[in-house]
Amino acid sequence: MTFITATPAKLDSEALTSKSTSLWQITWHRLFRRKSSVIGMSILAMLVTTALTAQWIAPYSPTLSMLDASPPQNLQKRSSPCIHLLGCAQDQPQHIMGTDGNIRDEFSRMLYGARLSLMIGLSTVSFAIFIGTVLGALAGYFGGWIDNLIMRVMDVLLAFPSLLLAIAIVTVLGPGLINALLAIGIVSIPAYARVMRASVLSVREMDFVSATRSLGGNTYEILFKCILPNALTPLIVQGTLGIASAILDAAALSFLGLGAQPPTPEWGSMLGAERNQVFTAPHLVFYPGLAIMLTVLSFNLIGDGLRDALDPRLVHVSS
Amino acid sequence: MKRNLSVLLSLLVLASFVLAACGGAAPTEAPAPAATEAPAATEAPVAYEGMMVESPDCDYGGEFKSIEAVDELTVKFTLCVPDPAFPSKIAFTAFAIQPSEYLESNGGTGDLLENPIGTGPYMVDSWVRGDQLVFKANPNYWGESIGADTLVFKWSTESAQRLLELQSGTVDGIDNVGPDDFATVEGDPNLQLVNRPALNIMYIGFNNNPTTEGFDNTTNPLANEKVRQAIAMGIDRQRIVDNFYPVGSEVASHFTPCAIPNGCVGDEWYAFDAAAAKALLAEAGYPDGFETVLNYRDVVRGYLPDPNVVAQDLQAQLKENLNITLKIEVMESGAFLAASDAGQLQGLHMLGWGADYPDQTNFLGYHFGAGASKQFGDHWDDITSALESGAQLAFDDDRAPFYTAANNAIRTHVPMIPVAHGGSAVAYKAGLAGNPHASPLGNETFSVTNNGTDTFVWMQNAEPISLYCPDETDGESLRACEQVTQSLLGYEVGGTAVEPVLAESYEANADLTEWTFHLRPGVKFSDGSSFDANDVVVSLSIQWDAANPLHTGNTGAFSYWSGLFGVFLNAPPQ
């Protein structure tokens, strides 16, 4: 009797591993076939390179103020971009993106800003996914009053507009980058918890789960080794898209002065600080705005691509 | 059938519109009936009964001894100490006169905060919080007004938006042109730039003993005078003014601008010397610097045109010169002022002051005198005593030695670092009739300007907090009050000279302790009630007497009274 039931279970798990590698292969393949996701990935690759090598590429320290303000250059604050290759006078100091209100090199600040933005995106989403996954999995697996309790709390969190809730959290904790990250992380937990719960609900009724259970696997094994890996797919898509909105939320908080504190070069706070110079020094608003847009765009394109690539229904349609 | 239905529908829509309109208008029209009933009470009197409010003695510590309505058109103030600046002080917006009946009917607060009744060229028509404040011409105004029938106040904290509104023609004048926009306005043939003289001061304040509960002042480096002196020497103020202030600004050599009599007597402020500053900081016991906060409010004022940039430059300078790490904490404007007044700000704070009237008492007296708030912590006796003596003398030459001593003592104790007298500018549409001006006191009058239409729109930095100005200190509120209410005296349009307004003339006794004001006859308030000496007594005594049931206002602080005239009568024990 044991012999009979054990064999199909083993077969099943073998089939599962071979299928999952092929799923990833298909996913990669499909991802690279889509133009939009390739664009997204190239932008992201560029950003990641920039962020990793910022300290070698950046011509100045991002917090060094009063650059070239003294004679002989007498550089004014918020000077326009000066690129020697494009015909800017040689005796002028080169600032590819000009200087900001404190006569700091805008280009260097933008580079370090990339580092910060990516860190914000990844860390908040990792935090939210971690907590959200655990909560969603527990709710979905155990059901009953645990499910009710967790999901009602999540509903309460979802009932607030996310940015308002983040502002409220930051107000309580005090402004600062870490607190802003925490706030954004907290407000994005419910989305992941819901997605996770839904996948766990569908996966836990599948045969291989029943098989593991009948083999005597304990709750921990079933939940985290058996169900979780198979319920992760929608979470990956949600997470990629979530990075984009986390970066946007962090920029919004910083714009309002609640996120990164000066002199930290954060794109949102750079945008906020120079918002009144939109007509007199448009480059100071244009570059950070463009950078935020590109970053968010890249994550959205990749997220969309991943969603389509991971959707089994669409796999059949096009292949 | 179909037509019937659509008629019914449109009727319903119409009805809902009417309902909505009435609902919106109700709160602003509510004060009207109360106001029109008031004159019935005042027109009847048979024999005039003058009021008098008096302090039994002068031991309570304030400046006033009594306020008395001698007859219907004569008011006499008796002071405990001579006060040569009395006319300048009493001319200030906070000491405007409102009908006594109106004040009493409101209990000193309530409608009073939204709808002041005054004798000025305008009266409040409606105030939609968060949107706009609309004034209409006061039919009972006793003076001459060429202003538009409707005056609208709008506000935006963003200088770029203010300029855009002016350029697009939706407003006729804007306050505080952004420092980078001066050239834009000057180059635009449709606009005109009016420079406002720099009668203000931006300073970096310290609190030597914050009142915050649980604050341990023994570990507070800023309680140490040497540390404050080191910071004073370690900041390159010239660099701040050169880079972040518009033309017409200057580095402050003293707290008070030199244009004010005895403003800059005494030693000049410390010259920038990073090495000496570092040595002094080491001597004070902080060779490696320390960490503290810099509080400020992100609002543009004439004295501080670009707060964030200046804050970040300070942060960079202190890090570089003294290894002091500043944590920047931007606060909401009202909360910041309240915390500053209560002495709760720790670390450094950036704030400024614009002249209300051109006298040292408005600068040094208000900030460092015996009646000053705890903004800078505990008071210094050598400063307060010098200021007290100086304030009582009539002639500038006699006062000079005391203000020299006060300025030198301030330089020694460093309650704050004076940074800049900031130049600012107002911009108007070109071709306005009358006198489009910028007042050095920040109280532009709009009854002297006309744009040829029946509506004049002014856009300032922020919304007024309330319109009961005895209890307001923010210039954005005071300017709005200026259009409606008037004091016994006033300041000339676009200048600082004191001129008669509700009083036609005044005289003082030889030792400047008794001031008699002869009121202008035939003046009526905008609600139709007539102006007499009792209105003066009531309007001023409710500020003076803390035990008066009408001493409520918006917050109940009445900062200007205590700042200019010292302790309140019947002040609750501290």
Domain-embedded: residue B84: yes
Tell whether B377 and B515 lie within a shared domain.
no
Mean pLDDT along residues B314-342: 89
Q: Test A277 with B160 for CB contact under 8 angstroms.
A: yes
**Are B212 and B73 contained in the same domain?**
no
Please enumerate in sequence order all residues whose Cβ is within 8 A of that of B441, keeping only pairs 6 or more positions apart, or say none.
B199, B354, B355, B356, B357, B491, B496
For residue B324, what pLDDT is reported? Answer: 93
| Alpha-carbon gap: A61 to the closest alpha carbon of chain B (Å) | 12
DSSP states of B485-548 as a string?
---SEEE-TTS--EEESSEEEEEE-TTS-EEEEEEPTT-B-TTSPBP-HHHHHHHHHHHHBTTS
CB contact under 8 A, B243 and A281: no
Residues B212 and B87 in one domain: no
Distance between CA atoms of A269 and A283, rounded to whole angstroms? 15
Q: How far apart are CA B291 and CA A305, in angstroms?
A: 48
Q: What is the ipTM of this complex?
A: 0.75
Chain B positions touching A266 (Cβ under 8 A) are: none
Which phi-psi region, left, alpha or beta, contains residue B518 (left: φ > 0; alpha: ψ -120 to 50)? beta
Q: Is residue B562 part of a domain?
A: yes
The rounded Cα A79 to chain-centroid distance in angstroms is 33
Which of B313, B319, B350 is the best substitution to test chain A (most A C-beta atoms within 10 A)? B313
Pairing of strands B173-174, B250-251: unpaired
Judge whether residue A172 has pLDDT over 70. Answer: yes
Q: Which domain holds residue B489?
A: 53-119+485-574
Structural domain ending residue among the three candidates B389, B421, B453? B421
Q: Is residue B567 part of a domain?
A: yes
- Domain holding B220: CATH number? 3.10.105.10
- Whether A256 and chain B come into contact, CB under 8 Å, resolves to no
Same domain, B384 and B236: yes
The owner of tokens 């944590």 is B327
Given this model, what pLDDT does residue A3 score? 46
Q: How far apart are CA B286 and CA B281, in angstroms?
A: 6
Give the nearest partner residue to B160 out of A65, A261, A279, using CB atoms: A279
Comparing CB atoms, the residue among B312, B327, B328 nearest residue A102 is: B312
Q: What is the pLDDT of residues A84-128, one digit of tens each?
A: 888 888 888 888 898 888 889 999 999 999 998 899 889 999 999
Same-domain pairing of B211 and B309 = yes
User: Are both B237 and B369 inside the same structural domain?
Assistant: yes
Are B396 and B493 contained in the same domain?
A: no
**Mutate: best of A68, A173, A276, partner B, most B CBs <10 A:** A276
* Contact predicate A237/A310, CB 8 Å: yes
Q: For chain B, how far is it from start to end, CA to CA, in angstroms?
A: 77
Residue bearing the bigger pLDDT, A84 or B515: B515
DSSP chain A: -HHHHHHHHHHHHHHHHHHHHHHHHHHHHHHHH-HHHHHHHHHHHHHHHHHHHHHHH-SS-TT--STT-STTT-PPTTPPPB-GGGT--TTSPPBTT-B-TTS-BHHHHHHHHHHHHHHHHHHHHHHHHHHHHHHHHHHHHH-HHHHHHHHHHHHHHHHS-HHHHHHHHHHHH-SSHHHHHHHHHHHHHHHHHHHHHHHHHHHTTSHHHHHHHHTT--HHIIIIIIIHHHH-HHHHHHHHHHHHHHHHHHHHHHHTTSSSPTTS--HHHHHHHTGGGTTT-THHHHHHHHHHHHHHHHHHHHHHHHHHHH-HHHHHHH-
User: Domain total for chain B?
Assistant: 2
Question: Would you say residue B76 lies in a domain?
Answer: yes
Q: Does B331 map to a domain?
A: yes
The reported pLDDT for the residue numbered B218 is: 85
Chain A environment of B240 (Cβ under 8 Å):
none
Residue B527 lies in a domain: yes
3-state secondary structure of B118: coil
* Placement of tokens 């099943």 in the chain: A12
How far is A291 from A54, CA to CA, in rounded Å?
A: 15
**Nearest residue in A to B300, CA atom:** A276
A143 and B CB contact within 8 Å: no
Record: contact A262-B328, CB cut-off 8 A: yes
> B415 with B493, same domain?
no
Q: Which of B191, B235, B330, B333 to mutate to test the interface with A (most CBs of A within 10 A)?
A: B330
Per-residue pLDDT band at B539 (split at 50, 70, 90): very high
Tell whether B325 is within 8 A of chain A (Cβ).
no
The Cα-based distances of B294 to A211, B5, B207, B245, B416 in angstroms read 63, 65, 12, 20, 13
Across the interface, whether the CB atoms of A66 and B309 are under 8 A apart is answered: no
Residue B46 pLDDT grade (very low, low, confident, very high; cuts 50, 70, 90)? low
pLDDT, average across residues B92-105: 92
User: Domain ends where: B393, B421, B449?
Assistant: B421
Q: Are residues B88 and B231 in the same domain?
A: no
Per-residue pLDDT at A220: 84
pTM above 0.80, yes or no: no
Query: Residue A104: closest CA among chain B residues belongs to which residue?
Result: B313
Last residue of a domain, one of B421, B445, B466: B421
Distance CA(A47)–CA(B158), nearest Å, equals 32
**At residue A71, does pLDDT exceed 80?**
no
pLDDT of B66 reads 93
Mean per-residue pLDDT over chain B, rounded: 87
Average pLDDT rounded to a whole number, residues B30-49: 49
Residue A101 near chain B (CB below 8 Å): yes
**Quick one: B491 and B409 in the same domain?**
no
Q: Does A262 touch chain B (CB under 8 A)?
A: yes
Q: Give the mean model confidence (pLDDT) for residues B137-142.
A: 93
Chain B residues touching A69 at Cβ < 8 A: 239, 243
Picking from A79-83, B3-7, B566-570, which range would have the lowest pLDDT averaged per residue? B3-7
CB contact under 8 A, B313 and A275: no
Q: How far is CA B77 from CA B60, B217, B536, in A?
A: 17, 43, 11
Is the same domain home to B338 and B413?
yes
Is B413 part of a structural domain of the chain? yes
| pLDDT, tens digit, 9 for 90 and up, residues B242-294 | 888 988 899 999 999 988 888 889 999 999 999 999 999 999 999 999 999 99
- The arithmetic mean of pLDDT across residues B138-143, rounded, is 92
Is residue B344 within 8 Å of residue B218, measured between CB atoms? no
Question: Tell me, what's the pLDDT at A319?
Answer: 39
Q: What pLDDT, on the 0 to 100 scale, is given for residue B227? A: 93
In-domain check, residue B412:
yes
- CB-CB: which of A76, A78, A102 is closest to B316? A102
Question: What is the Cα–Cα distance from B514 to B518, expressed in whole angstroms?
Answer: 13
Contact flag A263-B180 (C-beta cutoff 8 Å) = no
Question: Minimal CA–CA distance to A104: which of A134, A68, A139?
Answer: A68
Alpha carbon of A181: minimum distance to chain B alpha carbons (Å): 18
Res A1: pLDDT: 40
Residue B64: strand pairing partners = B79
Burial class (CB in 10 A: 0-12, 13-18, 19+), A1: exposed
Q: Which of B159, B160, B309 sits opposite A101 (nearest CB)?
A: B309
Instruction: List chain B residues with CB under 8 Å of A273.
Output: 308-309
Which residues of chain B lie closer than 8 angstroms to A66, CB-CB?
A: 239, 243, 313, 316
Q: Do B180 and A63 touch (CB under 8 A)?
A: no
Q: Assign B3 a pLDDT band (cuts: 50, 70, 90).
A: low
As a whole number of angstroms, the distance between CA A87 and CA A81 comes to 11
Interchain contact, B313 vs A262, CB within 8 Å: no
Residues B163, A103: C-beta atoms closer than 8 Å: no
Query: Nearest residue of B to residue A75 by CA position?
Result: B243
Please tell me whether residues B323 and B405 are part of one structural domain. Answer: yes
Residue of A nearest to B185 (CA): A280
Cα–Cα distance for residue pair B457/B151, rounded to 1 Å: 6
